[in-house]
Structure 1
Amino acid sequence: MKKIILILFFLLFFLKSSAQCAMCRAVLESEEGQTAAEGINNGIMYLMAIPYILVAGIGYLIYRKFYKLKK
């Protein structure tokens, strides 16, 4: 049960985080529409999430392969 709560906490924490560096934030906060800041932040989050998804997928495939060998 603790693992599920911990996973949910980190998932919600991940979704709430801002991924801009201090220099990018200073430049983009001066913009009026804030659309470029949102676009850059979403792009950084996308680039950061892809490796984690790939590693999780490979880990699942390895787990499933070992689980089938035990049967």
Structure 2
Amino acid sequence: MKKRVLVYCLIACFSIVLPVVAEAQCSICTKTAQQLGEKPAQGLNSGILYLAFTPMLLIGYISYKWWQNNKQQQ
């Protein structure tokens, strides 16, 4: 059961992280980025993805440590 949950979590994380083309802009950011041009819009999009990835990495690390601790207790 735990292996299945771990596999599902890994698949979810990889499906979020792996897409090459990702659009992570709200409507206001999109309008602003369209006025700036192509290069700044890509930079803004990359920054948003970077800021979203950091908390996911933290949550993944904490979940892994929790899972490892539970596994040792059993």
TM-score, normalisation: structure 2: 0.68
Give the structure 1 partner of residue 60 of structure 2.
56
Q: Secondary structure at the match of 1:19?
A: coil
Q: How many residues align?
A: 66
Cα deviations by residue, 1:15-60 (Å, 9 ceiling, x for unpaired): 343111112212222344x110011100001111111110111010
Q: How far apart are the structure 2 equivalents of 1:14 and 1:42?
A: 13
- CA distance in 2 between counterparts of 1:30 and 1:20 reads 14
Partner SS, residue 30 of structure 1: helix
Q: 1:29 aligns with which of 19, 26, 34?
A: 34
User: Could you say which structure has the larger radius of gyration?
Assistant: 1
Relative to structure 1, the CA distance from residue 14 to residue 26 in structure 2 (aligned partners, 3 Å threshold; closer, same or farther) is: farther
Partner secondary structure for residue 23 of structure 2: coil
**Which ranges in structure 1 are unaligned for 5 or more consecutive residues?**
none
Gaps of 5+ in 2: none
The RMSD of aligned alpha carbons is: 2.8
Match of 1:25, as an amino acid?
T
Work out the percentage of aligned pairs sharing the same amino acid.
26
